[in-house]
Structure 1
Amino acid sequence: MKDTEKISLLSRLVAMNTVNRNEIEPAKYLKQLFDDAGIKCEVLPVGEDRANLIAEIDSGSPILAISGHFDVVAADAKEWATDPFTLTEKDGQLFGRGANDMKSGLAALTIAMLELKAQQVPINGTIRLMVTFGEEVGELGAKMLYDAGYMQGVNALMIAEPSGYRICYGQAGTIDIDLESIGKNAHSSMPALGSNAVDHLIRVLYTIKAKVMARAAGLHNAVLNTDTLFNIDVFNGGEQVNTIPNHALAKINLRTIPEVSNAEILQIFHDVIDADAAKYGSQINMHVEMDLNPVVGDPQSKMLQLIQRVAKPYLLNAKFSASDQQQNQIVTKMLGRELPAGTIPALGAPGGTDARRLLVDQPLGFDYTVFGPGNFTSHQPNEYVSKSMYLDFIKMYEELFPAYFNEA
């Protein structure tokens, strides 16, 4: 496939508006490409306009799973210098919503599979491409694939999220919780006749936070480079200043690490709510919107070491923009040391990927990597990916995937 065709494929994907919807359109497009190439492929529709996709080059075991997602976040055209749904090249960069996160990674995986098949490269195992819907909001598609058994027998998982010439092998966990406080209205001059939902919720929130942070004190995960994080992100309560409020709502987000389990944190919530109800008569309802455990792979895994070896010559020949150089300096600072030329660093990240759904029963020590074309512009206006990096990743994938099966 010529470079112009590779850019054209990415352009087609970017033009498809998949802002938390319409994943069926790129799924059908990729299926046609795989069908034409003789690669086994199945679209798994969900509702009218959403879908997962599975494509395989299948020769038995072992199984290497490679993964990406169709959906992107919203783009406000007023904040963009170009049309966000038209792939636009400027100064060696490809601009467009999803160009970085992560349609370039998805396109690179797809093209690598198409070219390996066309060149009849021996694959002594199975390459299983898993493409999901709804990754940006709840990792919904990945959960469905896991529940349907597509991770059974998988020996390694590589996700093509934008890492650039770096490897991520761990993500923090996430807990999203809604707390709803139910009280009773009364005139502010006679508060004893009511029950102040705001008072109850504030008291419970800060008791919970104090207990969680006490449990997490001094515990830091070096791979993820983070502690347990507790954020009260939304708070609503009351209607007017002279009325005791009968309702209040808070939304809490936590980022979790293996040293303090999600289960422990959730138990603190339950214990504090129960104790407060017994002592103060509060009524607080708790709803867990998301509960995803942290994932930390193996820094000595086969795939991680293969990536470091295969990617080294590409990194040595790479040309970085001023922005990319700044990002590389940020990573160096995170690592706390300068790296020799050509070193592909392996580290963790506080954010998340579909791995937290796909590795739900193997959260620690699995052969898991994130390695894909891109940078730190995900979710931003004027998101972009380096054209040369995108093309290089296709070549690297074409080397990596056969090497995984052919080397001990």
Structure 2
Amino acid sequence: MTAGDSALHHLDSAGMRDFLARFVQIPSVYLPDTAGANESAAAAFVVDVLTEWGLNPTVWEVQPGRPNIVAELHGSFGAGALLLMEGHTDVVTPGNLANWTYPPFGATVVGDRMYGRGTADMKSGVAAMLYAVRALQLAGSPFAGTIRLLIPVDEEGLMIGIKDIVARGYADGAAGAIICEPEEHEVCTAQKGALRLKLHSVGRVAHGAMPDEGVNALTPLIRLLNPIIDLQAELRSTHGDHPLLGKIYISPTVLRAPIGGDASQVNVLPDSADVYLDIRTIPGVNHQRIVATIQGYIDVLCQKHPSYQVALTIIDDRPSTEIPTSHPLVQALRAAHLKVYGDVPPYGGVPGSTDGTIITRDSGVPVVVYGPGHKRIPHQPDEFVHLSEVDNAARVYIHAALQFLSTPV
């Protein structure tokens, strides 16, 4: 019996499905103004399982009620590479419950599908990676090196969880990372960058019938949006489309004036306003140059109109990532998928950004994104995952880890 056969023999599919159902039934939506609305209960559930398995997880709170988890399994073949496997505990809000056919935290099973918030994004990925590691453990950890599980909070927010994990050194020296997000059988070697900016304008309140007596805080933002939107076309002309990620996007997503006001005061100039920009980039695009270009637009406008006051703030900066298809981790995942499914998986790109962008940005570790579930079902009503895909993802992770960690150092 090969090491892979032994590990597959120890894969507890029934236990994994039960774990997933119980995991989904624990709401882990973070709502800052609602007591108990965080990842604490979901993380505690994961910690109990890891502790029962003897994996001795390390747990700490990034913020109150928001625990990160790290655990690892050492191979029995001696020193070798460090492989990271990563998945988050938080989920997004279910939204309007009337749009759901099944309760969003019910983990309802219909045929091969389990419905519920987080089934695809990404509690199924967490379940698959945990039970893959458990199977390897029960098979005697037949590999060289270490598998380290990173289970952070807040992937759906500003990624404070993975930022803290990486800052504490848990990604240092890793040879590669598998991000277990839903990618629909694709081995995703690239993911878009995300640059979030806020432009804040300060004016002076005045009567709408006498606007010259004040400064309309909204006006400079409107004037700035034209060149900012035109910048999208310039970037596309320079960089083209990426074969896996497509186009660059610059999207104004929020425009507010006055901040904290309401629409009843239509006869008053706003004394404050802001606009938020969601910028999605591809490899080769320099985020610092984008920021400098937009700051240049602000400087020129404010020099022309000295009464304008506009400040630019970087809310978040996640660069795009790309790993060569020849990388051993990519090839290990493709070979593992072939063993499990009988066909060669396509390469793909992640249209959003994952915690992997932070792992690469802050530690230089190459990442691949591969996991169970459809890539476009997350955040929608009636989110679901095929349970057979969760089983197969765990099998793929087993084979990929064994191949990637086959050589002692």
TM-score bucket (shorter structure): 0.7 to 0.9
Residues 69-108 of structure 1 aligned to structure 2 (within 5 Å): 69-75=88-94, 76-108=96-128
Residue aligned with 1:406, SS? coil
Partner of 2:313: 287
2:167 to 136, 147, 157: 147
CA distance in 1, matches of 2:235, 2:14: 55
What residue number does 1:358 align with? 359
> Residues of 1 paired with 2:327 and 2:185: CA distance?
17
Query: 1:61 corresponds to which residue?
Result: 80
The superposition leaves residues 91-125 of structure 1 with CA deviations (integer Å, 9 ceiling, x where unpaired) of 21111111111101101111111121112132210
Encode CA deviations 1:74-96: one digit per residue, 9 max, x unaligned: 11432211121121111211111
TM norm structure 1: 0.88
Alignment: residue pair count:
381
36, 41, 44: which is aligned to 1:25? 41
- Cα 1:374–1:45 shift into 2, 3 Å: same
In the alignment, is the contact (CA less than 8 A) between 2:336 and 2:397 conserved in 1?
A: no
Alignment partner for residue 3 of structure 1, among 7, 13, 23?
13
Aligned-residue offset at 1:289: 1.2
- Are residue 381 (structure 1) and residue 406 (structure 2) matched? no
Partners of 1:72 and 1:396 lie apart in 2 by 24
**In the alignment, which of 58, 63, 73 is matched to residue 47 of structure 1?**
63
- Segments of 5+ residues of structure 1 without an aligned counterpart are 317-341
| 1:268-304 per-position Cα deviation (integer Å, ceiling 9, x unaligned) | 1211112211111211122221111111112111111
TM-score, normalised with respect to structure 2: 0.88
The one-letter amino acid paired with 2:351 is P
Task: Give the drift of 1:377.
Answer: 1.2
1:191-202 to structure 2, matched below 5 A, reads 191-202=211-222
- Which SS does the other structure have where 2:292 is aligned? helix
**Superposed displacement of residue 211, structure 1:** 4.0
Change (3 A) 1:189 1:15: closer
1:236 counterpart (214, 236, 256) = 256
Corresponding residue for residue 209 of structure 1: 229
1:13 aligns with 2:23: yes
The 8 Å contact of residues 302 and 367 in structure 1, kept in 2 or not, is answered as no
Distance 2:235 2:394 in 1: 45
Q: 1:49 to 1:189 in 2, by over 3 A?
A: closer
Amino-acid identity (%):
28
Distance 1:223 1:154, change over 3 A: farther
Question: Aligned runs of 1:308-387 on 2, under 5 Å?
Answer: 308-316=334-342, 342-361=343-362, 367-375=366-374, 376-387=376-387
Shift of the alpha carbon at 1:216? Answer: 4.2
DSSP 3-state at the match of 2:92: coil
Contact 2:232–2:249 at 8 Å: present in 1 too?
Answer: no
Say whether 1:165 aligns with 2:185: yes
Which residue of structure 1 lines up, in the alignment, with residue 283 of structure 2?
Answer: 258
- Deviation, structure 1 residue 372: 0.8
